[in-house]
Structure 1
Amino acid sequence: MSLFSLIKFFKESQNDWMEQVGQLQVKVDVADSTIHDKMRMVQLTEQDLQVIKSIQPLVISHVNELVRGFYDTILQVQVLREKIEQHSSVDRLERTLEKHLIDLFEGNINEQFVENRVKVAKVHYKIGVETSWYMSAFQNLQQAMFLVICREFDQGSNKIDEIKQVTTAVNKLFSLEQQIVLEAYENETVAKMKEQFEVGKTEIRTKIMEISEGLVALAEETQASVEILSSHFNEVSGNSLASNEQSIIAEKKANDGQGQLNDMLHKIHSIEEYTNNMQKAINHLGQATSEITHVITIVKDIAEQTNLLALNSAIEAARAGEHGRGFAVVSQEVKKLAEQTKNSISQIDKLIANSDHYKQEVAQSLSQVIQAVKMGLEASGQTDVVFGQMVESIQQSSHTVMKVKNQMDELTRVVKEIEKASMNVALSAEQLNEAVATA
């Protein structure tokens, strides 16, 4: 008996209907143990599959109505309509679902049956039908199927048990269908998430490796720059120390020079004092010479008067004759003495004249010496000021150099800390790179 005849037979009489259903060939041939577990969970038996196969002609005759009800629900969502039009078409999906429903009521649970369920799930997942929308649409499909069953069979009191048996079998089949499809949905979601995770993981790994490699390169460049900078700082610090030592030596020499200059100033002051004393002595000598000249003038006058007196005595002795001979001798001696005195006075005049000439030259020289000493004192005073400024400048320079050296030492310490931190960054980046490479 054909399936269509069986449906007709069911409508007319149910006495032998179950016997005819029991003769239908159905098969459960699937290797996946989870499918068997799902069938046991919903209590889907071979007899249920026979009942399901018996109403396949009913599904075939109403498949357009059933499929349209399913997609009418989905197409009410504008987003789904746009996605369907983007990835496929409504006609194509309806044809696919028609074949899917007819195969669903074939009564065979095999590998192809499972594969077709998974394929439907993948198609709906691809176009963006979420599980909640799918379940809602499938609920409408299930409800439409029950309405068809109730409409096609008379609902007399003697058919209630058979209709209940048919709807129960269909409900079990739809439950198995939903389990397989939803599990496939979940697998697709997990696979997509895993794929996205792997893509994200790969991108993150790539970014981290790029960043870590950049960090390593940057750390190496920083370390190299820090080493060069540290070398320069050490050199500058050494030069600062050497410059400070030279400043100390220069300061010592400047202080020594200033001390020697002060000694020279003291000696110049002594020379000035001695020169002034000598000038005073020369002035006194001039005064004494003037007094001597005055005395010589007096003596010269006395000598001339004595000479005149001797001449007069000689005249008088000549007049006295023999009696005045002795007196003439005395007069002669007095005259000689007066002449000698006069000659001596002339020599003394010459000596005094020469002495006065020398005194004037010495006085002139002393004036020049005094002038030179004054100029030397002024120059020495200016030099002393310059030396003082030089010492102060050297001290300030030495202080600045030491301050620079201390700052350079501190900077060198900071640079070494940067170098250490750069090495730690490079090490961390390499460890991160290795960790990412093995992740």
Structure 2
Amino acid sequence: MTETHTHSIRTRLLLIVSSILILFFLFSSAALYYNTNQTAVSTLKKTAEQDAQRIANTFDTATYTDFLNNPRPSEDYEKLRKSLDTLRKQNGLLYAYTATVDQNQVKLLIDGLPVADAAKINDPATGAVASDMKEVLQGKTHTTDVIDDPKYGQYISVYVPLKSETGETIGILGVDIAAKDVETLTTTLLKQTLPLFLGLLVLLLLLTLGSLYYILGRKLKPLETLQSVAQMIADGKLSQADQTMQQLKIPAKDEIYTLARSIQQMNQTLRLMIVDIKRTTALVTDTSQAIDAGTTEVLDGSTQIAETMSEIATGTESQTHTTLALTDEMSGFSSLVQKTTDDSQHIEQTVETMRVATRDGQTQMKQSVTRMNMIHSHVVEATEQVRQLKQQSTDIQALVTIIRDIAAQTNLLALNAAIEAARAGEQGKGFAVVATEVKKLSTHVASSVDQIAAIVQNITGNSTQMEVRFAETLQETVSGQQEIQATDGSFTQIAEQVGTVASSAAGMRQQMLDVARTEARIRNALTEIAAVAEEHTAGNEEVAAASEQMIATITGLHVLVETLNETSSYLTDQTEKFDLT
């Protein structure tokens, strides 16, 4: 508990009550000043309202009505202004004027100041608000609070309705009364009432504090005895404190009486507690010594167990790491086996594709051999036909030679006939005509025979070339036929080799599947071994941790036992300080 300066409760209570009363006095003084000020303001407002109403009653409303019909400077305006100025001076007012509300703005009509200071007609009225004029236009009076103007000082404005002879509101009369006398009036009232008020307050303060001091002195006197008893208890003098509490008399059963009973019960409870603590401390000391001896033996055994389990855990952990490493290697081998299996399957598929392609190629080669044989037969036949065409061209050329000779002889006979016809004269004209036609025919035949000879010669040349070409083609065809037959044999061998490779690939794939299954069984076995090893490692670590925790617990228990022994000794020493006799 933090130490502080010692003060009497009675003094503190007196200070608190005094502070409250002083605050109450200050508040009462402020309230008195405020009420006095409000009374002065209220009185001033009432006076201003009476002055305004008196001016409104004496104001010439008939002339004012005529002025409203034509609001401009005139004799009526001057008459009304002078009248307001006179009334203002007679009543001691700052300002008197008439106003109207136009477009939500208060405007002056007649200013009751001297002509040099008076405002013009329809000038805005400063300080007047159109919303305040609504109730005035309804026939009511409106009074403002004290207005503090930097130019005119403090004043109060009063607005009353101007009514015609028929009672109709025809305008607004405003008057401003100086409020500087409010402070003077307030001061005067305070001078009259404040001394009596302060005297009563001071008397009340003194009576209250005196009564409170006497009452608190009687009520709080038992607290001094209780304070002494509490100090005795703190010093360990429980018997002396008990005797003092028995001699204490408290007539009223209030909080102090309850506190005294509580302190007395606390003293008795503390006496019983000290006795129990002494008895318990002796028992704890004996028990802690026995526990200390047992914990020492358990600590030695636990330390040996922890060291042994730590060695076992280290060996098991090494075996687990080895098994896990082998499992990782088997995982890599599994990936390699799987890849090899996939490659074998791919090879098998490729070989099957090659087998199909080889079978198709072999079929196409057989068809090519058949076609080459047919081509060879056709080339042989064509060669023979070209040879026959060449022979026929030779025969035709011989016939053309015979026809050319016949045409030459016919031409010669026609020439001889023409000569004989010329010799015969007239008798030979018909024969001459026939001879001429025969000559033309033989000439035409000779020309046609020459053309046929040229054609036959070309045919013979072409036939010779065709015979040479066909001979070369026949030779190439024979070579191609032999090569195709050789290729057909190669395709047959390839098909046999592809079949062998396909069988080998299928066998290799089956063997790789067997290897994969064996590898999976080995990997599963290694996984189980690793799991068992991890479980053993975890178990060993848990046992080692439990042993270490037990060692830590026993060590802590040993420390606690030592602390308990020290605490027991301390409690024994402390309880010896209490006087129970």
TM-score (norm 1): 0.47
Name whichever structure is richer in helix by fraction.
Answer: 1
Give the number of the structure whose alpha-carbon radius of gyration is greater. Answer: 2
Name which structure has the greater RCO, CA cutoff 8 Å, separation 6+: 1
TM-score scaled by length of structure 2: 0.36
